[in-house]
């Protein structure tokens, strides 16, 4: 997979904003028994989905990424979204 920068803040390169980038990972779980610890194991998967979504929109980086977690007793949803940017060479 191409190199796409992921950042929860800004990056120190010149860029132009391209689009909002969004990815989600649904996790079947036993939240009550695990305390939700397995959610962190899925961060790499949602990040790879975010990278692929950025590539699909022609972006070199996703900045100001935010992660949200939603859950009920059987399912957790891990969502990542940020601003897709194209770096200027």
- Domain span at residue 21? 5-87
Instruction: List pLDDT tens digits, range 24-75.
Output: 998 876 554 555 556 677 889 999 999 999 999 999 999 999 999 887 777 8
CATH number at residue 33: 3.30.110.70
Instruction: Give the per-residue pLDDT at 36.
Output: 57
Instruction: Give the per-residue pLDDT at 39.
Output: 66
Instruction: Give the per-residue pLDDT at 29.
Output: 61
- Distances in Å between the Cα of 88 and the Cα atoms of 37, 58, 63 are 39, 13, 15
Burial of 76 (0-12, 13-18, 19+ CB in 10 A): buried
Instruction: Give the per-residue pLDDT at 89.
Output: 78
Instruction: Give the per-residue pLDDT at 27.
Output: 82
Domain count along the chain: 1
């Amino acid at each position: 997979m191409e190199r796409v920068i992921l950042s929860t803040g800004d990056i120190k390169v010149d860029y132009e904003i391209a689009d909002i980038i969004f990815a989600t990972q649904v996790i079947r779980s036993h939240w009550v028994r695990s305390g939700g610890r397995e959610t962190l194991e899925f961060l790499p998967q949602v990040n790879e989905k975010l990278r692929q979504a950025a590539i699909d929109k022609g972006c070199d980086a996703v900045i100001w990424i935010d992660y949200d977690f939603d859950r009920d007793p059987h399912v957790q949803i891990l969502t990542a979204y940020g601003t897709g940017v194209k770096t200027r060479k």
